Amino acid sequence: MNTDMSGRTALVTGSTSGIGQAIAASFARAGADVVVNGRSRERVDATAETLRADTGGTVRGIAADIGTAEGAESLIAELPDVDVLVNNAGIFSATPVFEISDAEWSRFFEVNVLSGVRLARHYAPRMVERGWGRVIFISSESSIFIPTEMVHYGMTKTAQLSVARGMAQEVKGTGVTVNSVLPGPTLTPGVAEFISSRVGADVPFEEAERRFIAEERPSSLLGRLIRPEEVANLVLYAGSEAGSATTGAALRVDGGVAPSLT
């Protein structure tokens, strides 16, 4: 399976930790020139340095808040072209649905959906001109199995599926693919904090993980949290030559959490 990314440039947004950092590492190990992104210059630089040391690859960073139009424009100005765009930047929180304010609905849509739309709107047509490219939206199993405690998050992840499918249709037959990847509950720093807040900070994390899966995600067929590297494996496939016939798809790496055949 050809996942050699030599000569390709891959931008992974929201990649200073968790799934994004694992994806960036995966592409760097495959030979891509990787650009990591986050809002903090300090964290971006530290992540790029860590990834260079860990992978031996070519990694640099761009600090920009792509949850705003101005931030997306500044990133594009610094990086006019990429071969692979991984739209991973996102936020989540648990809030009762009838207590979510207008401002919070808007903030989630701006960060989780429009950030990727803005970047794909610039990069995808330029990929088409060159006859090769990959756009990947990191969605979630929450897009098809809406969590009661995070309806606003689930809404944005469902929107990503629609956006990705529509963009894939727009670029059909060009050598450019657009897909969504749907991770399930994954062990990232943010998720670890989220679980501790719901189970109890005094509970050892191994036990907290077990309780969270058993009580709040009982449909999981893995019976554990997914590891970021497991998500990165599927993203690398979709972003490589090996994924040339996979487009317009919603690719699940959710550990079977969503009780659906598709």
Catalytic annotation present for 237: no
What is the rounded distance in angstroms from the CA atom of residue 43 to the CA atom of residue 176?
Answer: 31
Whole-model pTM: value is 0.95
Mean pLDDT by 10 residues, the chain (262 residues): 96 98 98 98 98 98 98 98 98 96 98 98 98 98 95 98 98 98 94 88 91 93 96 98 98 94 80
Q: Which of 153, 194, 212, 237 is catalytic?
A: 153
What amino acid is encoded at 51 in this protein? L
What is the rounded distance in angstroms from the CA atom of residue 79 to the CA atom of residue 35?
Answer: 9
Domain-by-domain residue ranges, the chain? 9-186+226-253
SS3 239: helix
What is the rounded distance in angstroms from the CA atom of residue 20 to the CA atom of residue 231?
Answer: 9
What pLDDT shows up at residue 208?
A: 93
What pLDDT shows up at residue 260?
A: 86
Class of domain 9-186+226-253: alpha beta
What pLDDT shows up at residue 262?
A: 77
Sheet architecture: strand order including 133-138: 58-63, 33-38, 9-12, 84-87, 133-138, 176-183, 250-253
